Structure 1
Amino acid sequence: MHSSNGYTYFFVISMAVVSALLLSVVTTSLQERQEFNRAVDVRENLLKAVGALEEGMTPTEIDRFYRSMFTARSIEGPDGQQHDYYRFGPEERPLGYVLPVSGKGAWSTIRAFLALEPDLNTIKGITFYEHGETPGLGGEIENERFTRQFVGKKIFRDGELVSITIAKAALASESPHAVDGISGASITTGSINRFLKKDLMNYKPLLEDGR
């Protein structure tokens, strides 16, 4: 009887240990996969910002392209804080720079990548990759019809960092520093105007040194 009970206890304890080990392995594997997916999502948007994302690229191809063409760096801004950015292209001849920008929108924190040409003045592209703005209104910031307006616009005017303003169509069509807004999304676009200028000021040492 005692031998039978001992075997039962041993079996239960062994199964518990094995189950715990299996759960640990599965959890670790799942976390690693989630981290990889998050990294790929960020890298996909980096490629999109510089116009290098090709249709049908696999996560592995995106990761490989990122590792071969992007270098993560940081610079101390006027606020005394370190601000991360990405250099795109060969070290000796960069093809552009990507600056992470973010701020509070109407309903959420909006995160974006703003890509600049090597002159650190002309916009190469922009992608709003994370937000919770209202679909059909503020959510239209991720629509290509909106983001492609930024391409070719300038963030400096007569040597002064002025950023890009989301404005009414009449102003946007005449200015190299403005794009047309989104109907019914004035709070969202107004928020982008504020944090885009603020974040660009944090990169001012980089932007001015490269000009």
Structure 2
Amino acid sequence: MDTNKNSYTIIYATVMVIVVAVVLALAASLLKDRQQRNVEIERKQMVLKSVHLAKDAEQAQDKDSYIEQEYAKYITDSSITKDGKELVLYICNIGNGQKFFVMPVRGAGLWGPVWGYVSLKDDYNTIHGAVFDHKGETPGLGAEIATSHFANQFNDKKIFDNSGKFVSVKVVKGGAVEGNPHQVDAISGGTITSQAVEDMLFSNISDYLEFFSARAKKRAEAQAAAQAHAASDSLSVTNPMENN
């Protein structure tokens, strides 16, 4: 074939385009499974971190296997339905009667999405733990939401006030009031990202309120019934002195 002809150039270019396309498609196919697995491992690790588990993941000889085993041991994937919409809810059973409910949360930060996981104790009010991450917040500023220093502030905070009203947790610029169970410190220089976390928590947790309120009511009724039964039993015990 005459390589100086236009037809040769066209054929050569066409073949090269096809070859490159095939190579790229093959590479994408081969990498897809691994990419999906990486996403799953990251999700599972964040869920575990929200309940203070998998602390040794980074030191594990096989990190992925360690996370998979810890997740299978403690976490159950579940969901609830609200207004026809399915909401993901993870249930964590530690043992010794300890149970936590983990909610995924997602919102919009300054430069991109922010997300995380928040776990509640089985009083359906107290936050057990939280973990957050982001796509493009500013390093040293908004990106600090991904640090344990920021996330640990949420431990033992309350989402309902004393009257039973849902108030979530506020991320306060200038610092939370000491001892306030509904406030944490905002990030210095990361005001917009801090507000994004506050809005994200309020919006996402709100979707689960009906479920948590129903569970809390049932729990209170069970406790009241148990107390009434115990009181009844104590009254029915005969005073030994009466038999003398």
The interval holding the TM-score normalised by the smaller chain is 0.7 to 0.9
Question: How much has 1:72 moved relative to structure 2?
Answer: 1.4
Letter in 2 for 1:64: Q
- Select which of 106, 121, 130 maps to 1:126: 130
Identity %: 31
* Length, aligned pairs only: 190
Match of 1:161 in 2: 166
- Taking structure 1 as the reference length, what is the TM-score of the superposition? 0.81
Q: Per-residue CA shift, 1:144-177, capped at 9, x if unaligned?
A: 1111111011111121111000014554323101
Indicate the SS of the match to 2:140. Answer: coil
Indicate the SS of the match to 2:119. Answer: strand
Match of 2:105 in 1: 101
* Contact map agreement 2:51 2:100 (CA 8 A) in 1: yes
* Contact map agreement 1:166 1:172 (CA 8 A) in 2: no
Match of 1:188 in 2: 193
Question: How much has 1:92 moved relative to structure 2?
Answer: 10
Indicate the SS of the match to 2:178. Answer: helix
Taking the aligned partners of 2:49 and 2:156, their CA distance within structure 1 comes to 16
Taking the aligned partners of 2:175 and 2:34, their CA distance within structure 1 comes to 47
Matched, 1:65 2:70: yes
Question: How much has 1:91 moved relative to structure 2?
Answer: 9.8
Indicate the SS of the match to 1:210. Answer: helix
Task: Note the residue ranges of structure 1 that are not aligned, 5 or more in a row.
Answer: 1-19
Indicate the SS of the match to 1:89. Answer: strand
Match of 2:46 in 1: 45
Indicate the SS of the match to 1:157. Answer: coil
The one of the two structures with greater contact order (alpha-carbon pairs below 8 A, sep at least 6) is: 1
* Contact map agreement 1:75 1:84 (CA 8 A) in 2: yes
Q: Per-residue CA shift, 1:61-80, capped at 9, x if unaligned?
A: 11122122211112123x54
Indicate the SS of the match to 1:141. Answer: helix
Change in 2 beyond 3 A, CA 1:61/1:35? same
Letter in 2 for 1:61: Y
Change in 2 beyond 3 A, CA 1:131/1:210? farther
Question: How much has 1:35 moved relative to structure 2?
Answer: 1.2
Taking the aligned partners of 1:90 and 1:143, their CA distance within structure 2 comes to 24
Indicate the SS of the match to 2:211. Answer: helix
Match of 1:205 in 2: 210
Change in 2 beyond 3 A, CA 1:172/1:144? farther
Letter in 2 for 1:122: T
CA RMSD of aligned residues (A): 2.4
Question: How much has 1:119 moved relative to structure 2?
Answer: 1.5
Question: How much has 1:31 moved relative to structure 2?
Answer: 1.6
Question: How much has 1:204 moved relative to structure 2?
Answer: 0.8
Letter in 1 for 2:49: K
- Select which of 70, 94, 117 maps to 2:121: 117
Match of 2:80 in 1: 75
Match of 2:92 in 1: 88
Letter in 2 for 1:38: V
